[in-house]
Amino acid sequence: MNMTHYMQLLADNQPWNLLIFMAIPVVLAETLAITELYLLFTRKLDGTVAALNRYTGMLVGMYFIGVIVYLTKNAVLPLTTAGEWRTFIDVVAVLSYLISGLPLIWIALQEFGLVNKGLGQDAKLKVHAICVALFLIFGHIAMIAGMTDPSLFGYQSETSEHMNHGDMQHEMHTSVD
């Protein structure tokens, strides 16, 4: 089966790419989401959970800055300049993944006091919740698109072309017999 560059990235260099590009950011984002729900429902805006939420928001935002810079430089730009995207589904998978990090970066900027300075506590909670929701939406789009076989949209890898050619030769040979 053919795979998108998103899935290939996760499958290559096991287990490191899976940890770096999936496990670490997802664990951080899910920690942020769970603590966010706790804060929204309890309104206990001080204490251990609030601190965990704040520091996780800072960490995951900074982490995604690194991921976005790295993947843009080492994947997006080379794939684009070489024309090696595996149909639009490949582009959707990779770009959705990168876009999913932007709301988390916004959370970090808010926690560092660089944006939304004039907002009250409730408004900042609302921004957090919206940003977490946007991460989840784009992250899931990336996962679904990333798991889609690009050959459904016309992509053929060199190996699948050779296999298809070999299958045709086999069929032609057996039909002659």
CA distances from 81 to 74, 85, 91, 142 (A): 11, 10, 13, 22
> Contact 60/32 with Cβ under 8 angstroms?
yes
Which pLDDT score, from 0 to 100, does residue 170 have? 44
Cα 140 to Cα 161: distance, rounded to the nearest angstrom? 31
**In b/e form, how buried is each residue of 7-24, taking b as 16+ CB within 10 angstroms?**
bebbeeeeeeeeebbbee
What residues have CB less than 8 Å from 47, skipping those under 6 apart? none
Per-residue pLDDT in tens (0 to 9) along the chain, 177 residues: 799 999 999 989 899 999 999 999 999 999 999 999 999 999 999 999 999 999 999 999 999 999 999 999 999 999 999 999 999 999 999 999 999 999 999 999 999 999 999 999 999 999 999 999 999 999 999 999 999 999 999 898 876 555 554 444 444 444 444
